Amino acid sequence: MTEKIETLHDQAAVAARVAALAGEIDRAIPGDFTIVGILKGSFIFVADLVRALDALGRRPRVDFIRLSSYGAAKESAGEVRLAGAAPAGIAARKVLLVDDIVDTGRTLVYARDLLQAQGAQDVWTCALADKPSRREVAFTADFVGFEVPDIFIVGYGIDFDENYRHLPYIGKVD
């Protein structure tokens, strides 16, 4: 762990953006819904997002799925796999799928198709960060926290080779 990490969005900026995103989600998704977070990268984001939604009077159910696409490198392996159980109990439910970053788009496209195949009534997608310049498959998230250029970010759940997930802010790896 010798990388130099530069703060990109500090803790207060992330909290403000998550609160604003909860407002966008509250206005867009009516009634009961289930949040499905993609592990591991979304764990902090989902934890804060559900509490921001609670502050708006919303009571989402919460589930997680484990997918993998990245190895130890900074480049995508180009293949997404379900690395655990498929989500249960989402048939006929409205679902908000949440990931840390949209990069090539493969992960969220795969996860959205999986939820639709499980019978979800409607699927919205949310990413803390989006790198639109890196897209390899057509995909636009419904809710995005921060748009970032083609840089490598860490923190607030997001890792580089399993390190830095604990950082309370979003940083850029030099």
Interface with Mg ion (CB under 5 A): 41
Upstream peptide bond of 172 is cis (omega within 30 degrees of 0) = no
- Applying the rule CB under 6 A, the residues between 135 and 174 that interact with ligand IMP are 152-154, 158
H or E stretch including 116? Answer: helix 106-117
Strands of the 76-82 sheet, one edge to the other:
76-82, 61-70, 34-39, 94-102, 122-130, 143-147
| CA 17 – CA 128 distance, rounded (Å) | 9
Q: Which member of 11, 69, 116, 118 binds ligand IMP (CB under 6 A)?
A: 69
Residue 146 touches which of ligand IMP, Mg ion, none (Cβ within 5-8 Å per kind) = none
Using CB under 6 A as the binding rule, whether residue 107 contacts ligand IMP is answered as yes
Q: Which of 61, 136, 144, 153 has the alpha carbon at shortest distance from 99?
A: 144
**Closest CB 142 distance from ligand IMP, rounded Å:** 15
Active site residues: 103
Of 70 and 93, the one with the shorter C-beta distance to Mg ion is 70
Q: Which member of 18, 35, 44, 102 binds ligand IMP (CB under 6 A)?
A: 102
Using CB under 6 A as the binding rule, whether residue 103 contacts ligand IMP is answered as yes
